Amino acid sequence: MKNAFILSVAFGFAFLMSGSLSSRSTAEEARPRPVVLELYTSQGCSSCPPANKVLADLGKLDGVIALSFSVDYWNYLGWRDTFSKPEFTQRQYAYAQPLKLRSVYTPQLVIDGMDHMPGARQKDIRSTIESRRAAQAKTDVSIGAVGGQMRIHVEAAQKPAHDAAIWVVDYMPGPQEVAVGRGENRGRTIAHFNVVTGLKKIGEWKGQTADYSMPACKHACAILVQDMHHGEIIGAADYRVG
């Protein structure tokens, strides 16, 4: 009887633990997957303002990290985009081969490094966001801050097919307005959303646990774990100061 009692208790404990793990697994699976939107835009592009507005609308959705990258290749038209940087243009061009593009364009929206389309096509973008939500992140990313230092943690996971890069993307959250004095948008005030100000690779990921400490960002930042060849974004997190 004593042995039977012990076996019964052990079985019951295992059953409860199984239920607990099952519930936790279900909760993890139900967690919304961060979807990263990258809009490549320019103040010198007359078709970009509508896409800027679409990005602002989509950026309000739960589980969406919306980022606005200003490129510099239209600056010769008479107006230098006040947020443009050559490294943002380089990032857009790096997408051309994996996305099988003959050329880049504005306004171009890249979704999770996997899909692209004109940035004003809100209905198509929303549909793609929903399909990307169904794809679970390959790794979990978390960000915290202690004593003016930002702590970044990338969870261990199955080794990816290709090595990944870990990027820190600094940006100014919310709307930023600029009065354009020349070029195609002369006389207009252009509104941007979540304007990217800096882009830095801080490490590589091969499936291992990775921890980083660095000075806290000024306004906000996103951490992207992305296929080394500018392919799929397999993990992401967002952090805002204050």
> Regarding the domain delimited by 33-240, which CATH topology (the fold level of the hierarchy) does it fall under?
Glutaredoxin (3.40.30)
- Got the DSSP string for 37-72? EEEEE-TT-TTHHHHHHHHHHHTTSTTEEEEEEE-S
Q: Compute the distance between CA of residue 226 and CA of residue 163 in angstroms, rounded to an integer.
A: 8
Tokens (6 digits) for 1: 């009887």
Q: For 221-236, what is the mean pLDDT?
A: 94
pLDDT (tens digit per residue) in 163-213 = 999 999 999 999 999 999 999 999 999 999 999 999 999 999 999 999 999
Tokens (6 digits) for 168: 């820190």
**Between residues 170 and 3, the one the model is more confident about:** 170
Letter for the amino acid at 161?
A
Q: Compute the distance between CA of residue 47 and CA of residue 166 in angstroms, rounded to an integer.
A: 32
Q: What does the domain layout of the chain look like in residue ranges?
A: 33-240
User: Are 104 and 69 spatial neighbours (Cβ–Cβ below 8 Å)?
Assistant: no
User: Are 223 and 152 spatial neighbours (Cβ–Cβ below 8 Å)?
Assistant: yes
Strands (E), the chain: 35-41, 64-70, 108-111, 115-118, 141-146, 149-154, 164-179, 189-205, 210-215, 220-227, 233-240
Q: What is the pLDDT at residue 135?
A: 78
pLDDT at 31 over 90: no
Q: What is the pLDDT at residue 18?
A: 36
Letter for the amino acid at 180?
V
pLDDT at 242 over 80: no
Percent of the chain at pLDDT > 70 equals: 86
* Closest to 223 in 3D by CA, of 62, 65, 60: 65
pLDDT at 33 over 90: no
Maximum mean pLDDT: which of 13-22, 23-32, 217-226: 217-226
Tokens (6 digits) for 118: 């004109």
User: Are 195 and 176 spatial neighbours (Cβ–Cβ below 8 Å)?
Assistant: yes
Q: How far is CA 12 from CA 2, 8, 106, in A?
A: 15, 6, 61
pTM of the model: 0.86
